[in-house]
Amino acid sequence: MVSTAKKSKIPIGILIYCVCLYIIWTCYHFFVLPQIEKIPNELASSLLDDGLCKNLIWTLPAVLLIRKYSDELKIKFDEFFLWKKEYWKYALFLPAFFVYVMAGVLVNKIPISFSLSIKDAITVLFVGVTEEFVFRGLFLNYTAKKIKNEDVAIAINAMMFLAIHFPRWIQEGIFVNNIVHLGFLSIIILSVIFSVIFLKTKNIVIPIILHMFWDMLIFGLY
């Protein structure tokens, strides 16, 4: 007897993008970024790096795939920007992040002085958007529906999010330091926080804001 059950569509586009993202991003950090950093104008260099290149490699393909494979995702793109009054409670993460980062500053005896370079400010402005759309809006959004067990999906997403930082760490010579001194744990914890919030609220704006605020603290105080 021939089964009439409809087979689930295989999201080839998401798979190809996932593989290509890690390959292209690694090549970008080792071969393209060093050339961009040679541009004498810091504003132009930063806009080209975090503004143009990262959005073309990360955000644009992610948004197109989210819309294309909407039926394969747990949360639809149209829900990403809906707002409910109870979402304001997540603002409590802002002072929590501040206290945590300040504690690190004090423990490490870093002089308290907040300042953002042009490059840092542009990074803060764009990175939260690009990374949240890709890792929460697309990858987590897909795995959370297919795996069903959200805890497993969140764990997988955290490992994927950690791995995407490896090319930059290697290129900057801080990979071993971040592993040995457990600096990588903050990436995993943040990924879990952003993932849980995204799945609970179905809103992408909240993790983006929290991500931007965290980056602002790290770049400004460290």
The pLDDT of residue 106 is 94
3-state SS track over 176-194: HHHHHCCCHHHHHHHHHHH
The pLDDT of residue 222 is 86
The pLDDT of residue 1 is 41
The pLDDT of residue 11 is 80
How buried is 139 (Cβ within 10 angstroms: 0-12 exposed, 13-18 middle, 19+ buried)?
buried
| pTM summary value | 0.93
The residue ranges of every structural domain in the chain are 12-221
Give Cα 57 distance to the centre of its chain: 13
pLDDT per 10-residue tile (average), the chain, 222 residues: 46 94 97 96 96 96 96 95 96 97 92 92 96 98 93 98 97 96 96 98 98 97 90
